[in-house]
Amino acid sequence: MEKVRRKLKNAPDGDRQMVAILGCVATDGLPAVEAACQEALDHGAFSAAVIINILARARDPAPAERLSIPDALRLTHEPVADCARYDSLRRAS
């Protein structure tokens, strides 16, 4: 985090960005914020928005597993969008 602080020192709103980063320590913990800072520096970025984004991605749960659908529940005829049908319904009303 010290490297990020030094880099943000030269930014016009560096103090504000550092406060935003330090505010994340309360919710995500110091190790997570330090890891996010290191990841951001590894990618050549050091803004608060990037670090907060990294923390949010780490906080989000992994996508759910894909379900296997039994053949009995599969559609035999997929629905097809027919815009002409909708146009005819609109003209009728």
> For residue 29, is it left (φ>0), alpha (ψ between -120 and 50) or beta?
left
31 pLDDT higher than 80? yes
Structural domain of 53? 2-59
Asked whether residue 86 is assigned to any structural domain, the reply reads: no
> For residue 74, is it left (φ>0), alpha (ψ between -120 and 50) or beta?
beta
Asked whether residue 37 is assigned to any structural domain, the reply reads: yes
What DSSP character marks residue 72?
Answer: G
Asked whether residue 7 is assigned to any structural domain, the reply reads: yes
Q: Are 47 and 10 in contact (CB under 8 A)?
A: no
pLDDT of residue 93: 61
pLDDT of residue 1: 83
State the total domains in the chain: 1
pLDDT of residue 38: 94
pLDDT of residue 81: 83
pTM: 0.64
The per-residue pLDDT for range 66-83, each reduced to its tens digit, is 888 898 888 888 888 888
Asked whether residue 91 is assigned to any structural domain, the reply reads: no
